[in-house]
Structure 1
Amino acid sequence: MSADRRWPRQVYGAGTEPDPRFTLANERTFLAWIRTALALVASGVAVDAVDLGLAEQVRLPLAVVLVGLGVVCALGGWVRWARVERALRRSAPLPSSPLGALLALGVLVAAVLVLVSLR
């Protein structure tokens, strides 16, 4: 397939074709972020739908934090995939991503909400 017909053009229109192994590894990493996003969204829905013995005033904020983290993971995974793919195509250094730190901070907030609710 020619580079000018693939989407997103901002990714595939840059540089030259990298080794397919690197592109496929980048796609697997993206899919891992998507799996994480799905797990977070499902956790948020479960917190709201299932009686887990959490305090009522904590249940909704916890569900919102988990679903919000899922959305951030999905969008951040897409942005990370595009940035890495562009870097691979340009033979440039791989870009850093704040996604891991943001996810860790969000999970910490969710854990604190759970611990506060169980008292």
Structure 2
Amino acid sequence: MTTSPDRRFPRRVYARGTEPDGRFSLANERTFLAWVRTALALLAGGVALEALHLPVEPHLRLAAAVLLIALGILAPVQAWVGWARAERALRERRPLPAPAFSGPLAAGVALAGVLVLVGLLVR
């Protein structure tokens, strides 16, 4: 028994194009789940920075923690938007789009690392 496209969520994805090879949709889902795992790691890192009383200058430690938590909130947005854009592209037989927020996420992680490093050096 197959589910009709009008009963699948989100309709704006499934109502377009034709059903792609299941392997590609499953790979897209694995990428979605990888972004969710990344979000959990960013959230855990941000919480850990504040919870573990590390020898890092307190203001820089707090800035890095807040940045990591903010990135942890942004990563699931990337997961959802990226999944939907890739699934639509697969269904419409178009090239896959680049991740929408990967640049800001990478820059934010690098900045958090710099904040922690400087915080260690000035302490």
TM-score when normalising by structure 2: 0.92
> Which residue type is aligned with residue 2 of structure 1?
S
Distance 1:60 1:77 in 2: 26
Could you tell me how far 1:111 is from its partner in structure 2?
Answer: 0.9
1:96: Cα distance to partner?
A: 1.6
Q: Which runs of 5+ in 2 are unaligned?
A: none
The 2-side partners of 1:23 and 1:97 are apart by: 16
Identical pairs, percent: 57
Q: RMSD of the alignment, in Å?
A: 1.0
Instruction: Tell me which stretches of 4 or more aligned residues in structure 1 moved more than 6 Å.
Output: none
Residue of structure 1 in register with 2:65 after alignment: 63
Q: Deviations over 1:52-74 (max 9, x none)?
A: 11111112111110011111111
2-side partners of 1:13 and 1:85: how far apart?
Answer: 11
Tell me if 1:117 matches 2:119. Answer: yes
| In structure 1, C-alpha distance between the alignment counterparts of 2:100 and 2:111, rounded to whole Å | 17
* CA distance in structure 2 between the aligned counterparts of 1:16 and 1:118, rounded to whole angstroms: 54
Q: Which amino acid aligns with 1:113?
A: L
Q: Which residue of 1 aligns with 2:76?
A: 74
- 1:25 to 2:34 alignment: no
Query: C-alpha separation between the residues in 1 aligned to 2:107 and 2:59?
Result: 21
Q: How many residues align?
A: 119
| 2:6 match | 4
Deviates more, 1:63-72 or 1:92-101: 92-101
1:36 to 25, 35, 38: 38
Contact 2:82 2:100 (C-alpha < 8 Å) held by counterparts: no
Deviation by residue 1:48-107 (Cα, 9 ceiling, x = unmatched) = 111111111112111110011111111111100000000101111111224332222111
Deviations 1:14-66 (CA, angstroms, capped at 9, x unpaired): 11100000000000011001101100001101111111111111121111100
Higher mean C-alpha displacement, 90-99 vs 64-73:
90-99
